[in-house]
Chains A and B, each alone.
Chain A
């Protein structure tokens, strides 16, 4: 593992590590709310990875000031546009998942995913 290369792309390395941590939280935790938080951590890690591809050293944010429309004065604006869409979609699906959690709690009175699955199967078998 070439450590100096990983230290140069530090944002991308940290984004990948966060993706792995979020994935493990999604698999290991049994509480539904923590699974949803893990999914959110995974999605923000993806946005960090994507937006760090647009940064160019020594250039400024893509807002035209003093009429300078030179290519060498601004960073790449395309990844920022993609991530902007992604952040709003992420809040949408978080809202839907939390609504499902509220309905599941009202039905089964517990938040543990294993118990919910087994109670549902028990109802099927009975």
Chain B
């Protein structure tokens, strides 16, 4: 049985048509299951925990990156297959998984092409794509062997699944994540973008200015953090045009 979890923001009137369209399409494809709507009295986590007791075959997150992240975190003790139907603007993960819009997402669910990918762990929270923090005051200790400290303003990005078009060699099945340090050096007349790139499977990061990590462009995590990776932990339904 499929469990469809509609995120809270889809209760807005402007999404009524899209939600109705998805429900119709799902029925047409013979993929109907239980529809659960997140509301003020029912959190996404409680819905997932409750529904997992009925041993469903698939949980489908309907929403954006944040919805998918919350579903993955709520279902982290199970090995259930997860799908996504993207709605809204913040859907870089769905794009990388080869799912561009709600119409195509229903077809992808019907084709049911399953891929196992690594998942990042940041202080017991899972992230699928990336975790970002400002470089100012950030110190990284890698595998307990050496420390890295950026010396300019910019961004540190921990990448598990690459959602941008750059760095095409990032592999979400290798049991490693990539640390990408992007520093913008401003000079008198111009500015240069200086980049560093390190692969590892464990890092401890502290930020002396108390900046927070932003995971999957959706959820904030306070520092210090320990980041690791679990190889091939997440089973996810992907499209043919996925970016890996």
Are these two chains actual partners, yes or no?
Answer: no
